[in-house]
């Protein structure tokens, strides 16, 4: 087997990384229902590690991606989730919300929304990449986010690429499969509490039938 020249290998890696960080919102499609949910470990606002595999041994998980503490729509959405958290938990699920923001900024989000559920730091966009929700905003959008809304993405994220997740929601069953999802490139379109509760009811019915 011929060895690949180091310079060529470095060029390939550079171009691959560059293409990943230049994905538009329409290049992300989100993992489909029925797919295996990628397992991960991530840090919460108190710098404790959360392990998805261990969590799924206890109950299904509602996994929510959000953009950041600076996003008014995210604040409203997570606030609504918190307001109905007791109903979601009564349906047997655990709620976690993931963003590319460092732990200090997770605390800011918790303060703004009153969130008592787990907020996680997606360092290096690894979780968003695995669930195929990562994209690079346009220069106009970045100006709005960074200057108008005060996002300061280069400071609040783990790197300078300023990528974001599409605010999707996935319900993962205890077998590690994606049972339901809400995915829309339009950041204003979010999973409602009603939709989440309906999906959890359907999951519970399905599991009861298999017992």
Listed by start position, the domains of the chain span 6-210
pLDDT for res 5: 52
pLDDT tens sequence across 144-172: 999 999 999 999 999 999 999 999 999 99
Contacts of 113 (CB under 8 A, 6+ apart): 75, 78, 79, 82
What is the reported pTM? 0.89
Mean residue pLDDT of the chain comes to 91
Confidence of residue 183 (pLDDT cuts 50, 70, 90): very high
Q: What's the CA dihedral at 152, 158, 161, 167 to 10 degrees? A: -80
CA distance 70 to 4: 45
Fold observed for domain 6-210: Glutaredoxin (3.40.30)
pLDDT in tens, 117-131: 999 999 999 999 999
Instruction: State the pLDDT confidence band at 173, using cuts at 50, 70 and 90.
Output: very high
| Residue 84 in this model has a pLDDT that exceeds 70 | yes
CB 68 within 8 Å of CB 154: no
């Amino acid at each position: 087997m011929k060895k690949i020249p180091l310079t060529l290998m470095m060029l390939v890696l550079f171009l691959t990384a560059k293409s990943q960080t230049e994905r538009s919102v329409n290049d992300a499609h989100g993992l489909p229902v029925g797919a295996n949910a990628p397992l991960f470990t991530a840090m919460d606002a108190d710098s404790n590690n959360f392990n998805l595999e261990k969590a799924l041994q206890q109950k299904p998980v509602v996994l929510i991606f959000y953009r950041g503490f600076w996003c008014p729509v995210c604040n409203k959405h997570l606030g609504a989730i918190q307001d109905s958290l007791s109903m979601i938990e009564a349906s047997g699920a655990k709620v976690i919300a993931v963003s590319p923001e460092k732990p200090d900024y997770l605390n800011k989000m918790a303060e703004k929304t009153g969130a008592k559920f787990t907020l996680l730091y997606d360092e290096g966009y690894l979780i968003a990449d695995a669930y195929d929700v990562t994209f690079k905003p346009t220069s106009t959008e970045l100006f709005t986010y960074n200057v108008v809304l005060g996002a300061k993405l280069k400071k609040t994220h783990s790197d300078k690429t300023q990528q974001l997740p599409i605010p999707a929601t996935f319900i993962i069953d205890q077998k590690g499969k994606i049972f339901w999802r809400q995915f829309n490139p339009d950041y204003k379109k979010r999973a409602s509490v009603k939709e989440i509760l309906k999906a959890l009811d359907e999951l519970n019915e399905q599991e009861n039938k298999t017992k």
